[in-house]
């Protein structure tokens, strides 16, 4: 089957949270990560690492922390009250993923070195942070696009940040690294489709902030 074109992939890479438990072949997983490492990185240092979690006990470990954290986040009230139907459907899918995280075939931990040494040495923490995230998130986006191209569902999550130290201890991740994203992956139960976004005219400022064209 021919892979879809780049713009079709971009315009239809939705967050897929309801995933089948069917295994993803190792060659497909390697191809997805290989696409990730084609992204640019700060100074071309490529100070990233990608952990694929498939062991059932380890996935349950993540599920337990993830589910408990999701319950705490939801209890804060930010997601309480009446929500528009599309947002309610999204929240239901988030809850479903949190409850069944251990059933997805693979969980990816996208890791990166905490500091970009050349800029950190200049005492510019802001610049160092920008270089770090400017390194890992292009790789993560490549991974999400590769998943879409290969028919694999995935979503970028960051709830793990609440229990990152427990993750690092459990999986032996060095203290010099951080987990920038947790990405559940599996063949989707639903279908890929167009993403809904604000009109591009609303987000472009021409030459000066606030100068927009209709």
Cβ atoms 14, 89 nearer than 8 A:
no
Q: How confident is the model at residue 32 (pLDDT cuts 50, 70, 90)?
A: very high
**Model pLDDT, residue 183:** 98
For the residues of 166-209, what is the DSSP string, one character each?
A: HHHHHHT--TTEEEEEEEEEE-BSS---PPP---GGGT---SST
Arithmetic mean of pLDDT, 168-181: 97
Percent of the chain with pLDDT over 90: 84
Give the separation between CA 177 and CA 187, rounded to whole angstroms.
29
pTM higher than the cut 0.85: yes
What own/partner pairs with CB < 8 Å and gap ≥ 24 does 128-133 have? 131/42, 131/43, 132/42, 132/180, 133/180
Q: Which tens digit of pLDDT belongs to each residue from 46-90?
A: 999 999 999 999 999 999 999 999 999 888 766 556 777 777 888
Given a cut of 70, whether residue 209 has pLDDT beyond it is yes
**Model pLDDT, residue 35:** 98
**Model pLDDT, residue 80:** 57
Q: How confident is the model at residue 145 (pLDDT cuts 50, 70, 90)?
A: very high
Domains of the chain: 6-73+85-202 (3.40.109.10)
Tell me how far the alpha carbon of residue 104 is from its chain's centroid. Answer: 15
């Amino acid at each position: 089957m021919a892979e879809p074109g780049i713009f079709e992939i971009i315009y239809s890479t939705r967050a897929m949270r309801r995933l089948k438990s069917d295994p993803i072949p190792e060659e497909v997983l390697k191809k997805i990560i290989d696409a990730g490492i084609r992204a640019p990185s700060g100074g071309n240092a490529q100070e990233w690492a990608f952990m694929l979690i498939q062991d059932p006990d380890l996935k349950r470990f993540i599920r337990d922390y993830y589910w408990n954290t999701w319950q705490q986040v939801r209890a804060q009230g930010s997601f309480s009250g009446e929500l528009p139907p599309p947002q309610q459907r999204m929240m239901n899918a988030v809850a479903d993923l949190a409850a069944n995280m251990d059933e997805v075939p693979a969980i990816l931990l996208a890791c990166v070195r905490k500091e970009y040494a050349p800029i950190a040495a200049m005492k510019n923490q802001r610049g160092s942070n920008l270089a770090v995230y400017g390194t890992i998130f292009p790789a993560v986006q490549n991974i999400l696009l590769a998943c879409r191209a290969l028919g694999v569902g995935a979503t970028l999550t960051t709830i793990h940040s609440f229990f990152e130290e427990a993750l690092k201890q459990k999986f032996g991740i060095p203290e010099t690294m951080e987990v920038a994203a947790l990405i559940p992956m599996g063949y989707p139960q639903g279908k890929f489709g167009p993403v809904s976004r604000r009109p591009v005219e609303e987000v472009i400022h021409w030459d000066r902030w606030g100068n927009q064209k209709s």
